[in-house]
Amino acid sequence: MAQSIAKEFTKGLWTEIAPFRIVLGLCPILAVTKTVENGIGMGLATTFVLVFSNFFVSLFRNIIPAKVRIPCFIVIIATFVTIVELLMQAYTYPLFLKLGIFIPLIVVNCIVLGRAEAFASKNAPHLSIADGLGMGIGFTLSLAVLSAVREVLGTGAITFYETPIVLFGPAFEPFTFMVEAPGAFVCLGLLLCFMNLIPKK
Amino acid sequence: MDLILLAIGCIFVNNILLAQFLGNCPFLGTSNKMETAVGMSMAVVFVLVMAGVISWMVDHYLLKTLDIEYLRTVSFILVIASLVQFVEMFLKKSIPALYAGLGIFLPLITTNCAVMGVCLINIKEEYTFVQVLVSSFSYAVGFGLALIIFAGLRERINIARVPKPLQDTSIGLITAGILSLSFFAFKGMV
């Protein structure tokens, strides 16, 4: 049993890592990766929602009628998104302001609904938690990598809790294109290309 | 005059796809053929205007008067999901031609973050009813415009020789980046 849990957990980290192996959840990936702090914050919020929605969808999988399953899943997901929204408003207010409408938009993140439909509605609760956790951490990693590339190239520093860690000397000219909207698309496209170069196994 | 400026702002300057990054999954998913892109755009225009207006009414007359704004996320997604279902049933019965055209794109709209996103932006910006009408329509037109331009570009890419690792989504994203760069030029307008 422990082996199958480990298997479900690790697949989200590499073989099915979102959005590089399965192209889902692009909107938050592109929109909140201006800084590493935002990226990781968004990733953790999504992980929280993924784990709990997967768990509850899996618990109720035999009760929910097949015809109305999607609205039921959405209500479960929306409940946890509201919880995360209120928690962030209470404890990490600056981050809450920066992420803005992208926190309520976790509801329509295709990864969350996708996992509920493809995995949690067919598997036992403990496997679903492992799956949600793996997918969430994989998603957080992708967000961290993309935001690190964008922030380092775009500003020449990484900022945590408003203290910038400057990585390059004063001669470095910030590549502002990277932190603007077009840079997000190009940067993610190039990262996808690199991931395609690395074989799956 | 203000309304015209708002419309231009929503279509070009704050383009929902290329400047605000909302609705990118259908953007990449349905842009391989011009036909599907047009179908998706029409479905979005149709649903977004209705969803924008209804969600504004729900927020204004229900959530605010009862002081339960923390239920906004849940109520909006329910409004959108039931609206999509309702529109689908209505079209199937009364306008079968349009239903056949929009077909599979209607259910996909429930998880299109552009719809939910515009509803939330309308509330955040504290628009009035008329402004909501204009902004929802203009955002939807902006979505359609970007999607159709992008589908045209992709049809050309499909017959070009692209290096293997760059194929499909990767080259799609880079093209979208260049398209986004061209929309960047509108930034100073409003």
Residue A25 pLDDT exceeds 90: no
What's the 3-state SS for chain A? CHHHHHHHHHHCCCCCCCCCCCCCCHHHHHHCCCCHHHHHHHHHHHHHHHHHHHHHHHHCCCCCCHHHHHHHHHHHHHHHHHHHHHHHHHHCHHHHHHHHHHCHHHHHCHHHHHHHHHHHCCCCHHHHHHHHHHHHHHHHHHHHHHHHHHHHHHHCEEEECCEEEECCCCCCCCCHHHHCHHHHHHHHHHHHHHHHHCCCC
Cis-peptide, bond into residue A65, ω within 30° of zero? no
Tell me what pLDDT residue B153 has: 92
Distance of CA A172 to the CA centre of its chain: 31
Tell me what pLDDT residue A198 has: 82
- What are the pLDDT digits (tens) for B38-90? 888 888 888 899 999 999 999 988 888 888 888 888 899 888 888 888 888 88
Domain boundaries, chain B: 2-188
> CA of A1, closest CA in chain B: separation in Å?
34
Contact residues, chain A, for B25 at CB < 8 Å? 23-27, 110
- What are the pLDDT digits (tens) for B4-42? 888 988 888 888 888 888 888 788 877 878 888 888 888
Backbone angles phi, psi at B14, to 5 degrees: -105, 40
* Interface pTM, i.e. ipTM: 0.84
For residue B97, name the pLDDT band (cuts at 50, 70, 90): confident
Asked whether the beta carbons of residue B177 and residue A105 sit closer than 8 angstroms, the reply is no
| Residue A168 CB neighbour total at 10 angstroms | 13
In B69-112, where does DSSP find H-type helix?
Answer: 72-94, 96-102, 105-109
Contact residues, chain A, for B113 at CB < 8 Å? 27, 105, 108-109
Contact residues, chain B, for A83 at CB < 8 Å? none
Q: Which DSSP category does B190 fall into?
A: -
Asked whether the beta carbons of residue A27 and residue B166 sit closer than 8 angstroms, the reply is no
Q: Which of B77, B165, B167 sits opposite A107 (nearest CB)?
A: B77
Instruction: Express the helix, strand and coil content of chain B in percent, nearest 5 each.
Output: 80, 0, 20
Residue B181: closest CA among chain A residues belongs to which residue? A182
Q: How far apart are CA B161 and CA B27, in angstroms?
A: 22
Tell me what pLDDT residue B158 has: 86
Q: How far apart are CA B77 and CA B55, in angstroms?
A: 9
A92: amino acid identity, one letter: T
Q: How far apart are CA A199 and CA B42, in angstroms?
A: 39
Q: What tokens were used for A132?
A: 């949600």
Tell me what pLDDT residue A44 has: 93
Tell me what pLDDT residue A1 has: 64
Q: Contact, B141 vs B45, CB < 8 A?
A: yes
Contact residues, chain B, for A81 at CB < 8 Å? 73
Sign of CA dihedral A55, A56, A57, A62: positive
Q: What tokens were used for A83?
A: 């919880």
- What are the pLDDT digits (tens) for A59-109? 998 888 887 888 888 889 999 999 999 999 999 998 899 888 889 989 888
Tell me what pLDDT residue B111 has: 76
- What are the pLDDT digits (tens) for A102-152? 899 898 888 888 888 888 888 899 999 999 999 999 999 999 999 998 888
Distance of CA A78 to the CA centre of its chain: 16
Query: Taking the CA atoms of chain A, what radius of gyration do you get in angstroms?
Result: 18
Residue B145 pLDDT exceeds 90: yes
Q: How far apart are CA A150 and CA A176, in angstroms?
A: 9
Tell me what pLDDT residue B17 has: 86
Question: What's the mean per-residue pLDDT of chain B?
Answer: 86
Tell me what pLDDT residue A77 has: 92
Residue A28: closest CA among chain B residues belongs to which residue? B21
